[in-house]
Amino acid sequence: MSDLSRLFSDLWSVLWGMSLWVKIGFLGQAAFTARFLVQWVASEKKKASVVPVAFWWLSIVGGVVLLAYAIHNRDPVIIVGQATGLLVYIRNLMLVQRARSRGTKRTKKEQGESAESASISRPHRVDSSAKKIPWS
C-alpha cells in the first residue's frame, strides 16, 4: 500500500470514527470558514475590502450549526458567542435589504424623472459649430 493510499485510508478511518455531533461541529466550522474565502475573493475582484451578502448568509449557517453543536455539548461560552453573533449577522442582512430597497426606490424615481425630462421638447441643433444652448 502506498503512503498516499495509507494516508487516505487513515483519514477515512478517523472521519468514520467521529461521532455525529463532531461531524456537525466540523460542518459548521467549514461554513464559518468559507465566509472568509468568499470575502477574500470578492475583495480581490473589486481591489478593495468588501463584504458580500454571501458572507452574512454563511455566517448565519455556520453560526446556527455551531450553536447547535455548543448546545449539545452544553458549552456556555460557545453558546453565548454564537447566539450573539447570530444577532449581528441577521441585523447586517436586514441593513443590506434596507439599502437595496432604498436603491430600488431611488432607481425607479430617477427613471421616472428621466422619462419626464425626455418628454420636454428641447431645441434641435443641426450645426455643430453653433453656440451651445445652456439647457440642451
Q: How confident is the model at residue 47 (pLDDT cuts 50, 70, 90)?
A: very high
The number of domains in the chain is 1
12 lies in some domain: no
Position 6 in a domain: no
Tell me, what's the pLDDT at 119?
Answer: 53
pLDDT digits (tens, 9 = 90+) for 25-35: 999 999 999 99
- Let me know if residue 55 belongs to a domain: yes
* 76 within domain boundaries: yes
What is the extent of the structural domain holding 97? 18-105
Query: Is residue 60 assigned to a domain?
Result: yes
* CA distances to 112, 115, 117, 119, 136 from 123, in Å: 22, 17, 13, 12, 7
Whole-model pTM over 0.95: no
Residues 79-129: tens digit of each pLDDT: 999 999 999 999 999 999 999 888 877 777 777 666 555 555 555 444 455
In a domain, 125, yes or no: no
Residue 8: the pLDDT is 79
d(CA 25, CA 92): 24
With residues binned 3-state (H G I as helix, E B as strand, rest as coil), the percentages for the chain, rounded to 5, are 80, 0, 20
